[in-house]
Structure 1
């Protein structure tokens, strides 16, 4: 959707002119039509907000991100009782995306679809009862914070999902914590492949495409040039690793302009002495994590966040094996007695990546 979200047009002050009144009325009508269509199929959207209203070239509006959608009322009931979970995704045409089987267990399974015309299509995916990783990391409430061991397991599952997609020459293109859904055992799966794109072929290093995705997660070279590769996903994965470590959002304007991006805030504190990683760790963990594991994850995140995509590690050959080592029960014990155990699998432990133009700022 080339004109982006309604949120951008209403609230981002910049060079673009404000939406005229007639366009605002037209957008409201389009949104009402979308909701009426869903309700006629007994579907409750459940997450209507301006960021989920996307505009086309002619400013026609469509609903997006059905991550919290839910089947509606049956049997004359007035309401349904539910938890955050199952998700329905809009299908994007013309992406050239090959068919990807979800049977490997790394992607949310496709249950079925709904189609009554060329313009109205819905995909229905499995119910993930624990909702999104985003909810667990950032929604403060009665639920306890995710323990460190679960965060490491989630990182491994996400890495497996990306490695699976990359092995089939598919670039996810929109990795973020809200697109990581958790099952009853906290096993993580990737969801919402609406922006996924077939990768480069014929020996090419990238594909050129219109820039889409989510600010804070998108790789800098992709934002600047539209050049997309599997290493763009690796950068986004590095941001998710930072979120798992810090419990902070990828984008938070409350941190101030200079450090509203989590990468800008965390990078100065992660580069340099490994023992200082504790400064960025999520305080809700209460210090209950192996310090060496946190240092290893921070070193891996730094490598994923390299400015030059060529120097970022491969998901299957490097990132995933490094994370799987953290799952081994002997890791914490052996790491306390050896200061060099990660030297063979994590070169970044002794070689800090170059990340230009950052200064340390307080959150």
Structure 2
């Protein structure tokens, strides 16, 4: 049996994607065959395609961490799922394909009120935000959180989660429409221009009190600014390095510059300032993966059902090579407000223009 997949055969710009028929085996005893209806596109996918991501299989392979679809068949030892069930799945790669074989342990129910596009837009961004805020960051009501890239996928999820849990949220975003959305629609108290020098604006807003939690997906100089803004007992959570990714193609020089701009942090400097620095990689939780992610996603979906949270989906691009190229270019250009998805089911929020 074969299926259609969008593959990385060589590193390069978005146009390096190819689309081919690939073999698809039968599900093993603890696996299911899932017909994919929508796949979330994440910034890590761009880094994979550009050759800046280390934990990947040999090429050719298909990127894609999260998919929504319908179960076609189940393995002999699968008892909790049936043919026809609509589910989301978290996987390490392979999601840019019309069919996937996944372990049943990686499946999650999603609310019937959601479309596959909305369902696929939720797991990675909301779980990343959840782990950053509550598992690593130990966020508490009344604290102040700084969220860089607040108009992006993880950013819009993090703002919603933080506000819902009683935190005062300050964000950064790249254009006026994104900044307005973060404050007016998501509830942040302020959102400053990520393209400028936002550190003095944040400092003026929070005063000597400082920032309790900073979520940093940017790296480079932004990391140093976040650390300077931390209050005593503040926590800096690093979960990305978008500063290393250019608008269209791999650039080792840009990646090296972003890496070198990261501040050196000596452990004793943290002791003196009473601050902490954490790193979060959602797919490297090891034995804690099920323990952390399943109850978190269950709570996230319950909150979505109660309309306390919502998926911020910018648009869905066609589920083929052409759509994947366009989606990656859209993210490279930082045009997205919220999440971008590949699907044959059209969904378009609005065009925000280039930032």
Q: Please indicate, yes or no, whether the TM-score normalized by the shorter chain is above 0.5.
A: no
Class of the TM-score when normalised by the shorter of the 2 chains: under 0.3
Relative contact order, higher structure (CA 8 A, sep 6+): 2
TM-score normalized by the length of structure 2: 0.27
| Higher percent of residues as helix | 1
Q: Give the structure with the higher percent strand.
A: 2
